[in-house]
Each structure stands twice: as C-alpha cells, then as structure tokens.
Amino acid sequence: MSADLSLLQQRHSVPSRQLGEPAPDEASLQALLEAAIRVPDHGKLVPFRLIRMQGDAKLHFGEQLAAIAIHNNPEMSEAKLEKERLRYTFAPLVMVVVACLHADSKVPAIEQKLCAGNVAYSILLGAYALGYGAQWLTGWAAYDDEVAAMLGLAEHEHVIGFVHLGTPQFEVPDRDRPMLAELLSTWAP
C-alpha cells in the first residue's frame, strides 16, 4: 500500500513571533475550521467551540493580559509586562480553542478535553496543508480565571489553547524528533 503521509511527517510549528501576514483568507479559514471540527467525539457532545481574535482585538486582549499580569505580580519587570502586551500581536490571526465540558455526560471529562485538543491539532495540520504556519500555545492565560471571564467563558469551559496562524516569515528548521523504537512496545499476556 502506498499512502502519502508527508503532511504528518513534515508538519512542524512555526513560532508565533515568526508568523506574519497574510492569514488565511475568509474562504480558506472557513474551510480549515470546518475540516478541523471533524474530530473523534464520543457521545457526539461537540465539547468545544472557537473564538477568533484578529486586528485590534488582539491588541486589546494583550493590554488586558498585561493589566491582569501586573495585578497578579506587582513586581513584574517592564520587559515582562511588554511581553504580555505583545504576546498575541505577531500572528495575524489567533484562534482560541475552548473545551466545553458536559458534566452530566457519561463521557469522561478527559475524553471531552482530548476532543477539543484534537480540534486544535487539526487546525495546525490544516494550516500546514494550506501553506500557512501555526503554533499552539497555552501559557498562564489559558488557565487564568480572569482571562476566562474576559473571553466570556462559562464555568464549564476551559481554554485548550491559543492557535496562532499566519504566513511564516522565515524558514523554520524542524526540531529533533523522538525515535519510534524508543517509544513503541508490544504488550503480550
């Protein structure tokens, strides 16, 4: 059997600081996101949603992050504060992938979170397939209650990641990858 696995074999993250314009156009983004939500979903719960951040919204988000950061750590250096302000401004598009957990479901929460994580990874794969670059980031903002409130998340929702999308501005070398032989075992009774 001959199958083309090059998408999986070559995909790599592009650091968000190295992503610039253009982002996927509206038609490409729509197709990318429609493909990305076709993930394994035990119980057909659709335990995820997406929030799009572009343009001035990213600047405003960064300003609010900086305000939260300085409130949480008044001793924060100006350099670190500036990093918080600018963190989401490099890539032209940021998709926030949100897990929407159904507590009343028989499907364990971990499976629901993995479903949402598959959406984030599918966005990475799809972006690469379309010729764009992407990076899935979390950081403290993904786990902060004030940030969750700022994003309008309900109590049962959690940020899975911020997927930064754009066009690579530099050639990004692939990183060293693990050797399959060191990870694979065979179970036998």
Q: What Rg, from alpha-carbon coordinates, does the chain have?
A: 18
Would you state the pLDDT for residue 2?
Answer: 57
Residue 73 pLDDT > 90: yes
Q: How far apart (Å, rounded) are the C-alpha atoms in residues 165 and 93? A: 5
Which of 121, 125, 147 shows the shortest CA–CA distance to 48?
A: 121
Q: Which listed CATH number (3.40.109.10, 3.40.220.10, 3.40.1000.10, 3.30.479.30) goes with 19-168?
A: 3.40.109.10
Which pLDDT tens digit goes with each residue over 79-106?
999 999 999 999 999 999 999 999 999 9
Which pLDDT tens digit goes with each residue over 35-49?
999 999 999 999 999
Q: Where are the domains of the chain?
A: 19-168
Residue 140 pLDDT > 70: yes
Q: How far apart (Å, rounded) are the C-alpha atoms in residues 9 and 170? A: 20
**Which range scores top for mean pLDDT: 6-20, 117-131, 166-180?**
117-131
